[in-house]
Structure 1
Amino acid sequence: MTDPSPPARRLRRAVRGVVYGVFYRLPPVLRRRIVRLTVRTYVVGAVVLLHDADRPGRLLLLRQPPGRGWTLPAGLLKKGEEPRRGAARELAEETGIALPPDALRPANPNAMVHTRGWIDLVFEAAVPADGVRPVVDGAEVLEAAWHEVADLPPLTVATARLLGHYGLGPRAEPRGDTRGSPREGGESPREGPA
């Protein structure tokens, strides 16, 4: 099978952009319902905390449609997909930064269990920010940029909560006993299915 022509790719990208734009404007309850209708079991996502290896204290964040807040590279795992591989796939799809799954290490805690049937598996990695250039498609992700943890842009509520569990951002929690998964109501870092 040959690659589609450039006009066909542009059309497909434009259609994807419209679909994602509409999807992310839906209320979280409706987005969750749509995902549950298409996914037969509970929802498992993978989230990547990508740190700047050369300048500690910087994270890669994404802005998605409709662009009201910044979030982390994340998405749903495919059925039967190994979580680390899924996290690496989502990172590459959303940012163009391709890392081997072995480069991702489980964050501590690794699983964020949300009360509404959503589980996020969180991984960390570090790359030199000057050595990689994020590339976004403009449909699912509008912008990717490195930000100082001490001076983060406006975050989605769920992203602020998730970062807080790791002692980062405006909702930073003390880094005491991290055995076991914190339980937090609400959505995934995407404010719903990605």
Structure 2
Amino acid sequence: MRGLAYQVFYSLPGHTRHRLARLVAPKYLVGAVCIIRDADAEDGPLLLIRQPPNRGWGLPAGLLKKREDPAVGAARELLEESGVRLDPADLTPGVPNAIVHMAGVVDTVWFGSVPASRTTLRVDGGEVLEAAWFPIDDLPPLTVNTALLLGRYGIGPKA
């Protein structure tokens, strides 16, 4: 039966196969998450942000724009949410680089560092309420997703 279904599918015109595939394929939103450390300190503090309505702290992150390079999107989100400017080439992909969440979101994860003492943090007060540096051994209450994601990379309370 399965073989017959494949034969029928591949006998269809290319544009019809493409439309059918798009119709039945799962859809995912793709985002970028930044894990930024203080470049001037060994095991340096971690940059975290607090957004409404969450009471916990999270990482600078957001959805990629259509056809946007993930490193470019990560650098854009970092700047928009914290005021920290990093060249996309200065971001290192996490290993693994993509984390698939059950809710249909795929996050690409990027690591970077900046000198905290010489980096001004700026937030808009709407999308992001606060941005601050926290020592790894003294993190504030984290959002569930942030704690789980950091734990995958051996950072924080879920490491």
TM-score range, shorter chain: 0.7 to 0.9
Structure 1 residue ranges without an equivalent (≥5)? 1-40, 173-194
Q: CA RMSD in A?
A: 1.3
1:145-184 pair list within 5 angstroms = 145-172=132-159
1:43-58 pair list within 5 angstroms = 43-57=29-43, 58=45
Structure 2 residue ranges without an equivalent (≥5)? 1-26
Q: Hey, what does 2:115 align to over in structure 1?
A: 128
TM-score calculated relative to the size of structure 1: 0.66
Q: Hey, what does 1:183 align to over in structure 2?
A: none
Summarize deviations over 1:92-140 as a string: whole Å, max 9, x none.
Answer: 0011111111011101111111122110000000111001011000000
Distance 1:159 1:79 in 2: 24
Indicate the SS of the match to 1:46: strand
Distance 1:68 1:78 in 2: 27
2:61 to 70, 74, 91: 74
> Contact 2:54/2:143 (CA < 8 Å) preserved in 1?
no
> Contact 1:44/1:76 (CA < 8 Å) preserved in 2?
yes
How many pairs are equivalent? 133
Shift of 1:67: 4.1
Q: Which runs of 4+ in 1 moved over 4 A?
A: none
Amino acid in structure 2 at the alignment position of 1:160:
A
> Contact 1:67/1:142 (CA < 8 Å) preserved in 2?
no
Q: Hey, what does 1:26 align to over in structure 2?
A: none
Distance 1:109 1:132 in 2: 28
Summarize deviations over 1:136-181 as a string: whole Å, max 9, x none.
Answer: 0000000000001111000000100000001011100xxxxxxxxx
